[in-house]
Amino acid sequence: MRTSHDLPTIAGFVKPLDFRAVIGNRLSMRPAVPTFVLRHTLVAALIALGLSACGGDGNSDDVAVVTPAPDSAVTLPAEPAGLGRADSAAPASGVLAYVDTGVTNQRGDACTSTLETNAGVRVLAGFLDLWTPRSLLVDADQDAAAKDGCPAVVKSDWDGIPGSATDGTVKNRAAHDHNIAYSVQITHARTPAQELEAYLDDRRGKSYSISDALGPLAEHWRAGTGQTTTITSIAADAGTVKYDDKGNNRGDGSGSNANLGQAVDLVYANSVDGSTEPAKRFYKYARPFRWSTDVIVAPSLVPATSSTPKSDGGFPSGHTAEAWRDALTVGYLVPQRFQEMVTRGAVMGQNRILAGMHSAMDVMGGRVQALAVVAYNLNKASNAELKTQAYGQAQSWLQTRTNTSDFNALNAYAHSAGAAADAYADHAANKALVAERMTYGFAVIGDTTRAAVVPKGAEVLIETRLPYLSADQRRVVLKSTAIASGYPLLDDAEGWGRLNLFDAADGYGRFDGDVSVNMDAAAGGFHAADQWRNDIAGAGKLEKLGTGTLRLTGANTYSGGTVLADGTLAADSTSALGQGDVYVKGGTLEVAAPGALAVKGAYSQAAGTLKLVLSGSGKGVLTVGGKAVLAGGSLAVSFAGYKPQVGDTLDVLTAQARSGQFANVSVSGASKVTTTYTATGVQIRIDAI
C-alpha cells in the first residue's frame, strides 16, 4: 500500500516528521516539513498504534519487540528445486591408485624399477611430456639384481651433465626453457633476507622449519614435540655448509614423550615409503645450476653442492616433498592452521628455487608426490588408531598450553598474533602465493577443458579441516577447487597434480550438484562453526541443516537456490547467497554483509529468524530481486559500528513485491520501534532508545 507521499529513501535511512503533529493536523503538509520525510506517513501513523511495544529503561542494550497484527493469508512458494541430485567425484577408472600401491616406491629393486611398477615414479609421469630420460628405469648410479622373475637393472651411463652424450632429451623446449629461466631470474633477484630464509630451509631440519607456520602455536608445538635446531643464522655457520643440524628435527615419539609423542609418531608414519630417490633416479633430470651457469647458487650454500651429478638429480625436489609431507601432517593434527601449513609447504619449495638448488618443475614434482604419499599413509588401516589418538593429543596439549577451553577458542588463539608476529597471518596473501606456486607461470601445453578427477583416498587430506562433510562431499570439494587442466606435469592420470588444498580448505568452489551441509554444534570444532571463503559457482542448491553455523564470504554465483532448515547460515558478503531463490524454514539467516545482501530471486520465510546486522547506511539489509513472502518467523535487527538515532526510519527489506509479515520483530538497542509493511518491503522506525 502506498500513499501519494511515497518518495525514495535517501541511502535507506529517512528522518520522519513527528507523527503526532501529522495526526493532529489531519495529515496536512506543513510548509516547514521537508517533503522527503513524508514516506508512508499515513500507513506508519495508523499501523504504529498497533505495532509498537515498549520495554526496558531505554539503555542501549534494550530490545524492542513488536508483534504485528496478522496479515491476510499468504501462500508460500515451493522450496528451490536445485538440480535434484548431488555431485560426485569418482576416481579415474582403469588407473592404479597410489593409496593402494605406495609401497612400490622403492629403489634398488628390480621389480619396482619401471614406470608401471613404481608408484612414486608413475605419479610424476606427466614430466615425460617435457623430458625423455636416458633410460626408462630407476637406474641412475644404481644396479638392481634380478628378483622374482624381474630382470636385473644395470646402472645407467647417464653422467648428470646436461648436453653430454649420455644425457636425456628435452621434449618440450618452451616448457624446459621457462623452467630454467625462472631459476635464473629468481636467483639474480634474490635479496639477503631471501638468501637467509633459503639457507635456513636448506640446512635446518625440514620438520622444524615448517613448524613456524603454526604462528602463535609454534613455541607450544616445539615444546610438546621436543623439536630443536642448532642452525639459526648464516653467520654462525658460513664456510662449513653441510647437512649437520644437530637439533631434534621432528621431536620425540611416544616411546619417550607423553606430551606430543603420538603426534610425532604420525609425522614419521606419513613419510613411510615417501622417498623421492626412485623418481630422481628414473627421470635423471639435472639441477638448474648445471643447466645454466646463469643460475646463481646462494653463496652460503655453494659448499653444499654435490660433486657427483649422476647421483643428485633435480627432479623431484626431496626437500620440498619432505616439507609438504610434514606440513600436511601438522595441518591434519592442527586444522586451525591448515592453510598456513599448506602455504609453508609452498614457501619451502620456493626457497629451494631461491637457493639455486632446484627448478620450479623440481618443486612442483615434490609437492605432487608428497600429497600422494601422505594420503597413502593416512589411509592405511594400521594408522587409523594412531591418527585419531595423535589428533586428540595435539588438540589437548595445545589447549592446555594456551589456556584455551576448546577447539574454537584455540582457533581464535591460533590467529591472534597479527601480521607483525605471524608471517602467515594474511589469508589473501597466502591464497595468492599458493596459487602462483601451483603452476609457476608455465604456459599450458595440453587440453584445458579436461574435467578434474580426484584420486582414490585423497579426501583424507582434508578430513579434519572439513569434518562435517561426508567423505564423498570432501571429494567433491577437491574436484570443485582443482586447478585447470593443461599445465605441464600436473595432468597425472589420478589427479594429484591439480589438487589445491588451500582452496579446498575454504569449502566448495562449485555446486555442480545440490549440497546439503549438516553441522552439529554439539560436536564442537568446525562442526559448530566454519566459513567458506571461495567464490562458489554452479547450478546446484545449498541446503543448511544441523545446529552449527556456516558463514559464506565469497562472491557467489551459484543459481540453484538456498534453503535454511536449521542452525545459522551467515551471509558475510553482498552476494553470499548466489543468484537463486532463498527459502528460510528454520534456523537463523544472519546478514552481516558490508552492503545490502542481494537475493537475486525470491525470498520466502516460513519460520526461523532473519537476523540483520546493520553497520551503516544500507549495510546489512536485504534486497530481493523477486517477491518476498513472509509467512511467519522473526526479524531481529542489531547494529554494529554505528548507533541509530531516534526518528531514523530504516528500509530493512526491499523487494519487487512483499506479502505477509513476520511473527515478531526485535531491534537491539531500541526500547520502542514502529514496523511498517509496504507493498515492496519492510521498514522500522526508531521511536525511543
pLDDT tens for each residue of 117-138: 999 999 999 999 999 999 999 9
Q: What residues have CB less than 8 Å from 386, skipping those under 6 apart?
A: 262, 265, 266, 269
Is residue 101 scored above 60 in pLDDT? yes
Grid look-up 529503561 returns: 57
Is residue 41 scored above 50 in pLDDT? no
The bridge status of strand 622-624 relative to strand 169-170 is unpaired
Phi, psi angles (nearest 5°) of residue 11: 55, 30
Task: Determine the average pLDDT of the residues in 475-497.
Answer: 98
Residue 53 β-bridge partners: 673
Is residue 60 scored above 80 in pLDDT? no
With CA atoms as reference, report the closest residue to 228 among 216, 215, 238, 219: 219
pLDDT at 9: 35
> Of the ranges 38-47, 189-198, 547-556, 562-571, which one carries the lowest mean pLDDT score?
38-47
Task: Determine the average pLDDT of the residues in 2-9.
Answer: 34
With CA atoms as reference, report the closest residue to 160 among 136, 131, 140, 186: 140
Query: What pLDDT band is residue 239 in, cutting at 50, 70 and 90?
Result: low
- The percentage of residues in the chain with a pLDDT greater than 70, rounded to a whole number, is 88
Query: What pLDDT band is residue 243 in, cutting at 50, 70 and 90?
Result: low
Q: pLDDT: is 314 or 35 the higher one?
A: 314
pLDDT tens for each residue of 405-450: 999 999 999 999 988 899 999 999 999 999 999 999 999 999 999 9
Is residue 184 scored above 90 in pLDDT? yes
Using H for helix, E for strand and C for coil, what is the string for 403-472?
Answer: CCCCHHHHHHHHCCCCCCCCCCCCHHHHHHHHHHHHHCCCCCCCCCCCCCCCCCCHHHHHCCCCCCCCHH
Q: Is the pTM of this model over 0.85?
A: yes
pLDDT tens for each residue of 357-373: 999 999 999 999 999 99
Q: pLDDT: is 16 or 22 the higher one?
A: 16
Task: Determine the average pLDDT of the residues in 320-329.
Answer: 98
Query: What pLDDT band is residue 242 in, cutting at 50, 70 and 90?
Result: low
pLDDT at 207: 97
Query: What pLDDT band is residue 641 in, cutting at 50, 70 and 90?
Result: confident
Q: Give ∠ CA 480-97-373 in degrees, rounded to 5.
A: 80
Interatomic CA distance for residues 570 and 281, integer angstroms: 52
pLDDT at 616: 84
Cβ pair 517, 468 in contact under 8 A:
yes
Query: What pLDDT band is residue 618 in, cutting at 50, 70 and 90?
Result: confident
Query: What pLDDT band is residue 62 in, cutting at 50, 70 and 90?
Result: low
Secondary-structure breakdown of the chain: helix, strand, coil percentages, each rounded to the nearest 5: 35, 15, 50
pLDDT tens for each residue of 249-300: 999 999 999 999 999 999 999 999 999 999 999 999 999 999 999 999 998 8
pLDDT at 65: 62
Q: pLDDT: is 266 or 32 the higher one?
A: 266
Rounded to the nearest integer, the mean pLDDT of the chain is 90
pLDDT at 642: 83
Which domains are assigned to the chain?
A: 13-72+511-684 (no CATH), 172-237+248-446 (1.20.144.10)
